[in-house]
Copies of this chain bind each other. A is one copy, B any other.
Amino acid sequence: MRVIATPEEMRAWSRTERQAGRSVGFVATMGALHVGHRRLMETAAARDDAVALSIFVNPTQFGPNEDLDRYPRSFDADCAMAEEVGVEVVYAPAASTMYPDGYATYVNVERLTQGLCGGSRPHHFRGVTTVVTKLFNAVQPDRAYFGQKDAQQAAVVRRMTRDLDFGIEIVVVPTVREASGLAVSSRNQYLSEDERRRALGLSRGLFAAEALWRAGERSPRTLTEAVRERMAHSGFAVDYVELVDADEMTPLDEARDRALLAAAGRLGETRLIDNLILDTEGAERPGPDPGTRP
Q: A: which residues have CB within 8 A of B?
A: 7-8, 11, 15, 18-19, 102-112, 129-130, 133-134, 137-138, 159-160, 163-167, 248
Q: Taking A134-B165, A166-B137 as contacts, is the C-beta distance between A110 and B102 under 8 angstroms?
A: no
B-side contacts of A111, CB under 8 Å? 104
With A and B bound together, what is the CA distance between A211 and B107 in angstroms? 42
Q: Are the CB atoms of A106 and B108 closer together than 8 Å?
A: yes
With A and B bound together, what is the CA distance between A165 and B103 in angstroms? 11
Closest residue of B by beta carbon distance from A111:
B104
With A and B bound together, what is the CA distance between A124 and B105 in angstroms? 15
**15 extra A-B contacts, CB within 8 A, seeds A103-B163, A104-B111, A104-B112:** A7-B165, A11-B167, A19-B19, A102-B248, A104-B159, A105-B107, A105-B108, A105-B129, A105-B159, A107-B107, A107-B108, A107-B164, A137-B164, A137-B167, A138-B165
Copies in the complex: 2
Q: List 26 A-B contacts (CB under 8 A).
A: A7-B165, A7-B167, A8-B167, A15-B18, A102-B248, A103-B163, A104-B109, A104-B110, A105-B107, A105-B108, A105-B110, A105-B159, A105-B160, A106-B107, A106-B110, A107-B107, A107-B108, A107-B133, A107-B164, A108-B108, A130-B164, A137-B165, A137-B166, A137-B167, A138-B165, A138-B167
B-side contacts of A19, CB under 8 Å? 19
With A and B bound together, what is the CA distance between A105 and B103 in angstroms? 20
B-side contacts of A164, CB under 8 Å? 105, 107, 130, 133-134, 137
With A and B bound together, what is the CA distance between A8 and B133 in angstroms? 18
B-side contacts of A137, CB under 8 Å? 164-167
Query: Distance (Å) between the CB of A108 and the closest chain B CB?
Result: 5
B-side contacts of A103, CB under 8 Å? 163
With A and B bound together, what is the CA distance between A133 and B165 in angstroms? 8
Residue with the highest number of chain B CB atoms closer than 10 Å, among A15, A19, A111, A167: A167
